[in-house]
Amino acid sequence: MATDRTSNKGSGRTGGKSGKRNAAADRRAKIEEARRKERARDRRNRLVTIVACCVVLAATVGGGWWLVANSDGDGDDAAAPQSGESAEIEGVQTWEDLSRNHVEGQVEYTMNPPAGGDHAQAWMNCDADVYEAEIANENAVHSLEHGAVWVTYNDAAAEEDIATLSDRVSNTTYTLMSPKADQESPIVLTAWGNQLAVDTAADPRVETFLDTFVQGAQTPEPGAACTGGLAE
Amino acid sequence: MSASVRRWLIAASGSIAVVAALLIGLTALAPADSARAAPAEESADVGFARDMSVHHQQAVEMSFIVRDRTDDEDVRRLAYDIINTQANQRGMMLGWLEVWDRNKSSGEPPMSWMDGDGHGEHEATGDGALMPGMATDEELAELSAAEGEDAEIRYLQLMTVHHEGGVLMARAAAEQAGTDEIERLAAGMVEAQESEIRLMADMLAERGAEPTP
């Protein structure tokens, strides 16, 4: 039976079954609504908590990573190749697993000038030594084993370049220089297992090769002498 | 997620964050000590290690030569001492260069790292003396050809000049060094070599000679 009072509240209604059903339904709806809101709130809170934890974790890991990355490298010249690393010098040929036996007589080397392999018992003096005459491969290779850089030139090398290189070698321990008529390139710099051919002494890679390989990490016998060997 | 679990999680994360921030901050702000930071390319430490390794090597060479040129026990013993001391010290310095990841050789003129007038650049003399105080190729050849007391006197005179150059370099290194290891070794060299200079002056006097020829 309809009355004048209309109300959304089901509870005000006295009445029949439909009234009670509406009131219950409304209550259920409200409860549902509250539950939905609470679930949503819970989801939000969970999300916030998880995100916050992830941020903290990421910041901790990131901070630690940054610390470690910054702990070495102070004062490093990132541009200059470090001792014995040929990778940064363009055009350097490398050889691995070269043998190191002391033998008598001539040796057949797989490259010219030789960059390593079996060699003579006596090393060639490599204490800033510039040789005017050709020297035996087998003695020079022993010098390479001691950490020396061997500079060689053929007839195609310019006089000026020979003078420049002689000057440099004369002022650098653990280097030696000699003519080598049968080599392909005008100027070759050789260390144990590493070799660079250049056309002129002005090539900037000459300095880099010397700095990198004189007593460099490629030296099979660190600490060995460049004096007390053969003087000619 | 229940409220208590959430609270616990927040508290834990917060604690971790605070501790981590503290640790990171402290470590980042801690003064770099020599054990961790390698000296720079232009440092006195690197320059001295390179130069003194070359300098020491010549003293070793001269000492080997004189041991073959005389029977005199005192001179041979002094030479033996210098060989072992300086060869080992050279090994230490080359080892440090490796640990510091620095080349053992540089195209820079020797002693470029030394502060003060007249020590910036040294012209290459071309006579084999790569640094002041070092013997020339000719002087080494003359030592190799000398015998007996002549060889002893030459050796003692050459080594006196050699030590004087060494002391100059070592003193500068001890003053300018950024690492403890170079500071200690260089300071030790100054004392030891000054003592040896005095010893050699006495030995020269016994042979009727002066420290400088």
Residue A171 at interface with chain B, using a CB cutoff of 8 Å: yes
Measure in Å the smallest separation between the Cα of A141 and chain B Cα atoms: 20
pLDDT digit string, tens, across residues B5-39: 878 877 887 888 788 778 877 776 765 554 468 99
User: Residue A6: pLDDT above 60?
Assistant: no
Sequence-separated (6 or more) residues with CB below 8 Å from residue B107: A168, A207, A210, A211
Domain residue ranges in chain A: 11-76, 93-213
With a threshold of 0.80, does the pTM exceed it? Answer: no
User: Residue B121: pLDDT above 90?
Assistant: no
Asked if CATH classification 2.102.10.10 holds for the domain at B44-206, the reply, yes or no, is: no
- Count CB neighbours of A217 within 10 A: 17
Place of tokens 């003194």: B52
Chain mean pLDDT for chain A: 87
The better pLDDT of the pair B122, A128 is held by: A128
**Which CATH code is given to the segment(s) A93-213?**
3.40.30
Domain residue ranges in chain B: 1-30, 44-206
Question: Does B43 contact A168 at a Cβ distance shorter than 8 Å?
Answer: no
Sign of the alpha-carbon dihedral angle for B92, B95, B101, B102: positive
Which ipTM value was assigned to this complex?
0.78
Measure in Å the smallest separation between the Cα of A53 and chain B Cα atoms: 6
pLDDT digit string, tens, across residues A60-76: 888 778 877 776 544 44
Question: Does B27 contact A52 at a Cβ distance shorter than 8 Å?
Answer: no
The phi and psi torsions of B166 (rounded to 5 degrees) equal -65, -40
pLDDT digit string, tens, across residues A105-161: 999 999 999 999 999 999 999 999 999 999 999 999 999 999 999 999 999 999 999
Q: What is the pLDDT of residue B32?
A: 55
Among B102, B62, B100, which Cα is nearest to A215's? B102
Question: Does B16 contact A60 at a Cβ distance shorter than 8 Å?
Answer: yes
User: Across residues A211-224, what is the average pLDDT?
Assistant: 95
Q: What is the pLDDT of residue B2?
A: 77
Give the pLDDT band of residue A78 (cuts 50, 70, 90). very low
